Amino acid sequence: HADELVARLRAHLRQNRVAAHRVAAERDDWYRDTIAHRRFTMHYQPIVDMTCGEVEATEALVRFDDGTSPVDVFHTPDHHDRRVELELEIVAAVTDDLASGAVSVPVHVNVSPAAALDPRLGELVHGTGRPLVLEITENAAFDAHDAATLRAQMPPTCRLAADDVGAGYAGLVQLVGVQPDLIKIDREIVSSIDTDPARQVVVSGLIEFAATTGAELVAEGIETAAEAAFLIEIGVRLGQGYFFGRPAPLAAGTVLDPDLDTDDIGPVTAA
Ligand code: C2E
Ligand code: MG
Ligand code: MG
Ligand code: MG
């Protein structure tokens, strides 16, 4: 009887292994195809100086042709070998957009620590001759030593942003060590900031933290005028979110220029 159970268990495990293999092979095909044919478009979302309405910068966000969510690719524990290759291809696509002259403000790109530290990223960034801001998620394993390595291989105009700050459990000590030039407050904290005292406490703390460390603050995920007004009131200058403009592709001939008025932003693609 026990033998029979063991045999069944073995067969079951073998089946699981075969299935896992197939899924891995399919994922590998997806990565190879997506990279080789650039089956994605970059969208850009304005980062606005909320005190005057000028577009100060823009964040590049990938949109895959087949609708795959960037969260599924970049925030899953399964770190596929080809993910860094994909990230580099995405940055190459951004630098192509920059070369077309369609964007005049500094561009933020999201990178994982592995992609950030890849020497090929340094080459791409040097090649653009344009100021880029590299956004690295706060929770990622990225310490003071990594930050120093990154800075050494980047042009001095290139800046480092800690993304999604306040959302996870990364220590503030780690953040002090990384010395980011910008701190992006996670949208989970920005949401309902105007009415939630707990979130207000966190943002006040981050304002002090930023002032002490010399970092600039960006609030992300601003969806309402009330949230924007509250953030301006307590001293956050830079904001990003659907309230100011959704991520949108660069339409032919569209120039995302710094003198756009906030009222004109809407979708950045306006022809
Ligand atoms: P993130 O870097 O924190 O980007 C902000 C996310 O919030 C984007 O989601 C954006 O579309 C969304 N968002 C912006 N404003 C609002 C708002 O007002 N309300 C709400 N509800 N959402 C808003 P998205 O594009 O789905 O990207 C999710 C995450 O995937 C990004 O978070 C980033 O970590 C990663 N990601 C996206 N594009 C890339 C990329 O090109 N390369 C890499 N390595 N990661 C990327
Ligand atoms: Mg980001
Ligand atoms: Mg973010
Ligand atoms: Mg976020």
The ipTM (two decimal places) reads 0.97
Ligand 1 atom with the shortest distance to the CA of 186? 3
**170 C-alpha to center of ligand 4: Å?**
14
Return the ligand 1 atom nearest residue 115 CA. 44
Which region among 17-31, 42-56, 99-113, 225-239 has the lowest average model confidence (pLDDT)? 17-31
Of 86, 219, 107, 246, nearest in space to 163 by CA: 219
Distance from the alpha carbon of residue 59 to the mean position of ligand 2, in angstroms: 7
Answering whether pTM is above 0.95, one says: no
Residue 46 has a CB neighbour count (10 Å cut-off) of 25
**Which ligand neighbours the alpha carbon of 140 most closely?**
1
Ligand 1: residues with CB < 6 A are 45, 60-62, 70-71, 74, 87, 90, 110-112, 135, 137, 163-164, 187, 220-223, 241-242, 247
> Which residue is closest in CA terms to ligand 1's atom 23?
221
> What pLDDT, on the 0 to 100 scale, is given for residue 34?
97
Note the pLDDT of residue 81: 79
How many A from CA of 51 to the centre of ligand 2?
22
Q: pLDDT band at residue 221, thresholds of 50, 70 and 90?
A: very high
Tell me the average pLDDT across 23-32: 89
**Is 215's pLDDT higher than 50?**
yes
61, 139, 183, 188: residue to mutate for ligand 1 pocket, most atoms within 8 A of CB: 61
The stretch 69-86 carries a mean pLDDT of: 88
In DSSP terms, which residues pair with 59 in a beta bridge?
A: 45, 108
Average pLDDT, the chain: 89
Q: How far apart are CA 194 and CA 53, in angstroms?
A: 20
The residue that leads in pLDDT, 20 or 95, is 95
Does the pLDDT at position 170 exceed 90?
no
Predicted local distance difference test score (pLDDT) of residue 62: 98
Residue 59 CA, ligand 1 centroid: distance in Å: 9
11 Cα–ligand 2 center, Å = 44
From the CA of 184, how far away is ligand 3's center (Å)?
6
Ligand 1 atom with least separation from CA of 112: 44
Among candidate residues 223, 267, 227, the one with its CA nearest the CA of residue 245:
267
Residue 241: predicted pLDDT: 97
Dihedral of the alpha carbons of 109, 115, 119, 121, in degrees to the nearest 10: -20
